[in-house]
Chains A and B, each alone.
Chain A
Amino acid sequence: MNIRRILTITRRIFRGLRNDWRSLFMMFVTPVIGIAVFGVAFSGDVNSVDLVVVNQDQGYQIPPASVPVSIADAVVENFDTHVLKLDRVATEEEAVDRVRRGKAFGLIIFPENFTSNVYEKMMDPSLALDTTIRLELDRSNVTVANSILKAVSDAMLKASSAMGVEAPVTLDSSTAIYAQEASFRDFSVPGITAFVVFMLTFILTLLAFVSERTSGSLERLQVTPLRESELVMGYALAFSVIAVLQTAMTLVVIVGVFQVMVVGSILLAFLVIALLAVMSLSLGIMLSSLAKREAQAIQFLPVVALPVFLLGGVFWPVEGIPAWMRPLSYAIPPSYAVNATRSVMLRGWGVGEIWVDLVALFGFTVAFLALSVWSLHRARG
């Protein structure tokens, strides 16, 4: 071992880095941003989740009090408003409709005569009166559903202790509006599938296009009658075929081997992922213009993967991200695919319900393809 020779190699690496601002950025700025986003986004609790409240309880005037009291109101007042965002409606139908349309993650129903029934039952436990609070959840997002359940249970305990009595109240959450039997795996698989297809397609296209630039073949192509738009579309077509096959194989494995819940059309889920793949390859082509060689292109991976992983709803629900950070999720194209795939597979939604996600994915794809063509034109500096 010769220390001088070792230091020569070390020095060579640092000298190289001095002229490579992209690598320096990736080395020192990306981890800081990644950790900061992780720290803020994964702050712990799911928050600001929409819950529809149907309070049919009229309250009850318990002698000798002169004003009626309502246990339902007491429970609602004890809801942690950091976790739950309440939306009051008059009828059960209205509430179910809101959850079915994805406007809320669950509904809670306090039946008519709830407080009087509870009071009567306290006096005589043998009476067969309805003292059950019904909680019907959209379980397509297991983490969110469990958070709502916990928040409601906590509120009931708090209300009970505030009133100083142990009320004979039960919480029935056995009926779910969506994904009754969903497990955490059912919840996470659509997100992971979207993430895997996104990353693989993105990497493949990025490297293929960077190699086209570094080998000089791109320049040669630009001197033929081939137009930049034709080049991009040629790439898009080839990698779309690859991506579609990749998607089909992935879905066969998750449905065939892991038997993940599929309530809706598997064909629609397939189309969503395929559209995501086309979007990913257009992003790959677009970003390839920023890398001068393959090593620099590789460094893009964490920059692209981290936001998708942290903010795209892959593992951690978007509802678990602080409300002020959620708009960032809408700027991350794969989040639309994650949401749409999960909705199709676990909620059984069709095109009518996920069209916004499809339009967003399509819009990003068109924009990235247009920017790819523009970046090729611009390269003729």
Chain B
Amino acid sequence: MHNGYAIETKNLTKLFGKFTALDGLDMRVEAGAVHGLLGPNGAGKTTSIKVLCGLIKPTSGEAYIFGKKVPDRSILPRIGYMPQETALYLELSVHHNLAMYGELYGLSGKKIAEREKELLRFIALEKWKDAPVANLSGGMKHRVSLACSMIHEPDLLFLDEPTVGVDPELRASFWEYFGLLKRAGVTIVMTTHYMDEAQHCDKIGLIRQGKLIAEGTPGDITRGTNTTNLEDAFLALARRQEQA
């Protein structure tokens, strides 16, 4: 562990041509915390996650996961990634999708079966185990995608908009499960643009135009901006950024 942080970035910058997606991002995520990245579309949330997962090389700056400089293949078995897209094999069944990822992480057949049972219960899709993913609804696919990212019991979970398209009841059970994972010591980094959801996070980072404009607990941020909710806090911080 690097200074007790699961993630640490230093002046992380990513340019796509002339567009600055990340502008000197300095971020720290404590191990075992649920960390939310909030911001409007195009703020740089997904780019941050992709850089941290080693999918995109930063233009400059550094990122560390568990003390190892990204990209480093040795950290891959310890992380789970749920992309924004469903990213599943539609022609395969739910079971085969889960089993494939289990095998890629080197799990035994027995372990895969155990994890599959547990995850299917969590995503409430036990009855759909053998159905082709193509036959599932959008929300169901999203749940299978989440399960695939957790099959190998990662220490660090990157979730890009995990609750989009999920109904309120299931969303509540997701948060319950994330709480269980947190208690088991799993670090969760998730992006969302639902400000109300951020209340569940231990800490949040507000991102706008590739810059981290505030970081702290939801309470810290609202107090620091003299507002009563995160939405107003974000708007106040955005105005400050414009004036600066």
Residues of A within 8 A of B (CB): 215-217, 219-227, 380-381
Contact = CB atoms under 8 A, between A and B. Distances in A.
A44 B100 CA distance: 56
Contacts of B76: 223-225
B88 interface: yes
B132 interface: no
Given A380-B55, A381-B57, A219 B83 contact: yes
26 contacts: A215-B85, A215-B86, A215-B87, A215-B88, A215-B90, A216-B85, A216-B87, A219-B81, A219-B83, A220-B87, A222-B53, A222-B54, A223-B54, A223-B76, A223-B81, A223-B158, A224-B76, A224-B101, A224-B104, A225-B73, A225-B77, A225-B104, A226-B104, A380-B55, A380-B56, A381-B57
B83 A221 contact: no
A355 B89 CA distance: 41
SS of A interface (majority): loop
A216 B89 contact: no
Contacts, number: 55
Interface in B45-103: 50, 53-57, 71, 73, 76-77, 79-90, 101
A216 B105 contact: no
Contacts of A381: 56-57
Interface residues of B, number: 29
B169 to A, nearest CB: 26
Contact of B55 (A223, A225, A226, A227): A223
A380 B87 contact: no
Given A215-B88, A225-B77, A380-B54, 6 more contacts: A215-B90, A219-B55, A220-B148, A223-B79, A224-B105, A227-B73
Contact of A380 (B71, B81, B84): B71
Nearest to A226: B104
Central interface residue in B87, B101, B105, B106, by most chain A CB within 10 Å: B87
What 8 pairs between A and B have smallest CB-CB spacing? A216-B85, A216-B87, A223-B81, A224-B104, A220-B87, A217-B87, A216-B83, A223-B53
Contacts of B158: 223
A222 B80 CA distance: 11
Central interface residue in B55, B82, B101, B105, by most chain A CB within 10 Å: B55
